[in-house]
Amino acid sequence: MDEHLLRFDKEKEYVFIDCETLNLCLHYCHNLPWQIAMIKAKGDKKFDEKDFFIKWDTNLKISDDAARITRFDQKVIDRKGVAPEEIFPTMKDWLDKADYIVGHNILGFDIYLIKEYYKMMGESCDHLYEKIIDTHSVAKGYKLSLPYKQGDSFLEYQYMAAHKKKKGVKTSLSALGKEFDIEHDYGKLHNALVDLELNLKVWNKLKWNVEV
């Protein structure tokens, strides 16, 4: 009777996405992503990945806190970075063709930057929203015993869960990984690709605790 749940579906294609940025602003006038990583997965398994470093024509500088937390290295950007126009076709292709787009706090952060990226390239990303699974929101719903009702808007449910507050409830990626006893190199988090590897592992545990 539960065969419709995502935990049992081995054919749907997921794209996990994460952005490392200059700061925490949600608009390109003050903030830009300098690293965008993506992982493709089917069922529980990763089968492809992309890790892009981006060179922007901008006077914006990374904040000291962001540089420290993410171990930002301008030499890496100079060596590996490419123009945003070169990356966008691949990102758009992966996101547009995915059955689901997964990110940790993607509804609270990354989607705003993705939207700006699409807009800059003359495109709209409005069609992506209904495919989003925000593991931060889903974990909040799970921990706060807020069940999702089949047939309701899953997007609305995630926004609702994300805005619920309760002291002591920990839903960061690292906290969830450790709670689920997931083996991972936690010391290297805040690298987009490393974060996504953990995000996939967390989703593979979390989906057995929620009726999605």
Domains of the chain, with CATH numbers? 6-206 (3.30.420.10)
Q: What percent of the chain has pLDDT over 70?
A: 100
Q: Note if the pTM is more than 0.85.
A: yes
List, as one string, the DSSP characters of 124-170. Answer: --GGGGGGEEEHHHHHHHHHTT-PPPTTS-HHHHHHHHHT---TT--
User: 64-107 pLDDT, tens per residue?
Assistant: 888 998 889 999 999 999 999 999 999 999 999 999 999 999 99
Give me the mean pLDDT over the 120-148 stretch: 96
| pLDDT higher than 90, residue 150 | no
Alpha-carbon dihedral 39, 158, 202, 187, rounded to 10 degrees? 80
- The Cα–Cα gap between 140 and 202 comes to 13
Residue 80 or residue 3, greater confidence: 80
Over residues 184-204, the mean pLDDT reads: 93
Q: What is the pLDDT of residues 156-182, one digit of tens each?
A: 999 999 999 899 999 999 999 999 999
- Are the beta carbons of 118 and 129 closer than 8 angstroms? no
- pLDDT of amino acid 157: 96
